[in-house]
Structures are given as structure tokens and as C-alpha cells.
Amino acid sequence: MDSIRQAPSRNPATTGEANQPHLLIVEDDGSLAAGLARALGMEGYKVEHLDTGEKAMERMAQVDFDLLVLDIGLPGIDGFEVLRRLRLAGHVMPVLVLTARDAVGDRVHGLDLGADDYMTKPFALPELAARVRALIRRGQAGSGPRTTHGPLELDRAGRRAFLEGAPLELAAREWAVLQILLEKVEKVVSKESFIESLTNWDEDLSSNAIEVYISRLRAKLEPAGIKIRTVRGFGYMLEEYADRKA
């Protein structure tokens, strides 16, 4: 696994350089971004700024940020798409969405995709700073949600998986397919709904591709007694772990 995330052990009383929350601003309006970076920098955060969604996705593959300030109207892939992709890839950092559009539909769409808060432009910088503080506190409250299924444990924040306590390598799409199955234990997930959830990746997906990811997951999980059942002509189902059935 290429990204290693240390368990957060931040103590506000001893916050120094190393423990500064690390923020990423994705905003194509240069002067707004500079103002944001300055204001948040003065709050004591370590701030980076990028002006496209593509650059942000690249950077987030290298660095685990503590919070993302994300503009919706970006050149290239827009903020909605960035949000969808990063949640699909298992990133759980808080996201504050900035939108110039005042449409309720946009806000709802953003929140549906996993934004934690949003602000409509124009906004006052002190209000943005206050929302960022609240989100950072919330993000630090837990050490990240862990999902377990029998001997399988997923650290969603760190995007790490463990099987019987040992690190388990999962490719990005295997991770995404597994997340979907884990949300619907003992429920059949159709191939179409896997495809629907995954097609916002770079290329189209065929149902054969889904079969490939499922068979890779089986090869990794079945030795530990975790079973993904094929429901012929329809889809797949993650069975409840046998120990818990008894």
C-alpha cells in the first residue's frame, strides 16, 4: 500500500509543525484561493492550493489531508466528480464544498456525495474559518471508522485493510467493490449497481470486469472463511461471516 497514515495522536496543547492540520484548497479563482490560503494559514493550518480537480486527485493519492476545501465549478473534472472519486477511493477526510451556484439541488447533490458542509460564494472568511475549525475538530474526534467483517478489518480513513490481523493488499477497485459488498451484507448487489457505482472512474466498466474484481476478492478473502456468493444472472452477495451465524 502506497499511503501510510499514522494514527492521529494530536494534542492541541503540544501542536507543533508536525501536528499542524494539513489542508488542501481546490479552487481555480486565484485571488479567492490566495485569500483563503492566507486566512487559513493564519489559523495555524498547513495549507496547500491546487487549481484543478485532476491535480487534486493526484496530490491526494500521495498525501492524506485533514480537510479539503473544494470548489464545485472547476475546469476539467468538477468538484462533484472529485468528491465522488475520493469517497469511492475510501478517503474520509472532511470536505467543505464551495459553490457559486445558489441552487438547493447543488447543495443536496454535494451532501449526497459525501460533503460535510458547504458555503455559497460570496462568504465571509471568518465564517469559513469557523466552519473549518468545527470540521477539523469533528475529524479528529475519532481515529477513523473501522469496519469489520469476521476476520476482515478495514481502516477507512487510512485506506488500509487487515485480514486476520495481517495487512491485506487491495487495488483501488477491489477496495471499492468490497466497500459496496460490506454495506449490504446478506443482500444481493446486482452487477448493474456495481457498474453504476464504479463508472465514474476513467473508463467504462463491463460486467466481465466486475467478475474479475469479485474473483480477485474471493481469492484473497475465502481462505479466511469470508464468502461472496454468486446469484446467477443477477449479482453477488457477501454472506454473513459464519461465526456470527451460529
Contact 225, 241 (CB under 8 A): yes
CB of 127 to Ca ion, least distance (A): 19
139 Cβ contact partners less than 8 Å away, ≥ 6 residues apart: 66, 67, 93, 94
225 touching Ca ion, by CB under 5 A: no
Q: Give the residue at shortest CB distance from Ca ion.
A: 73
73 touching Ca ion, by CB under 5 A: yes
- The DSSP string of 24-64 is EEE-S-HHHHHHHHHHHHHTT-EEEEESSHHHHHHHHHH--
18 Cβ contact partners less than 8 Å away, ≥ 6 residues apart: none
71 touching Ca ion, by CB under 5 A: yes
155 touching Ca ion, by CB under 5 A: no
CB of 103 to Ca ion, least distance (A): 15
Q: What is the DSSP-derived secondary structure letter of residue 188? A: -
CB of 56 to Ca ion, least distance (A): 13
Q: Which residue lies nearer to Ca ion by CB, 28 or 81? A: 28
CB of 68 to Ca ion, least distance (A): 15
Q: Which residue lies nearer to Ca ion by CB, 103 or 212? A: 103
Q: Which residue lies nearer to Ca ion by CB, 33 or 181? A: 33
Dist. CA 115–CA 94, nearest whole Å: 7
Contact 164, 8 (CB under 8 A): no
114 touching Ca ion, by CB under 5 A: no
106 touching Ca ion, by CB under 5 A: no
Dist. CA 98–CA 72, nearest whole Å: 6
Computed on alpha carbons and rounded to an integer, the radius of gyration of the chain in Å comes to 20
Q: Which stretch binds Ca ion (CB under 5 A): 9-17, 68-76, 157-165, 182-190?
A: 68-76
Q: Which residue lies nearer to Ca ion by CB, 73 or 144? A: 73
28 touching Ca ion, by CB under 5 A: yes
Place of cell 467478475: 211
Q: Which residue lies nearer to Ca ion by CB, 44 or 76? A: 76
CB of 185 to Ca ion, least distance (A): 40
Task: Report which residue type is found at 29.
Answer: D
Q: Which residue lies nearer to Ca ion by CB, 97 or 189? A: 97
CB of 57 to Ca ion, least distance (A): 17
Dist. CA 147–CA 179, nearest whole Å: 9
Instruction: Pinpoint the alpha helices (H) of 102-171.
Output: 104-112, 125-141
CB of 15 to Ca ion, least distance (A): 32
Interface residues with Ca ion (CB under 5 A) are 28, 71, 73
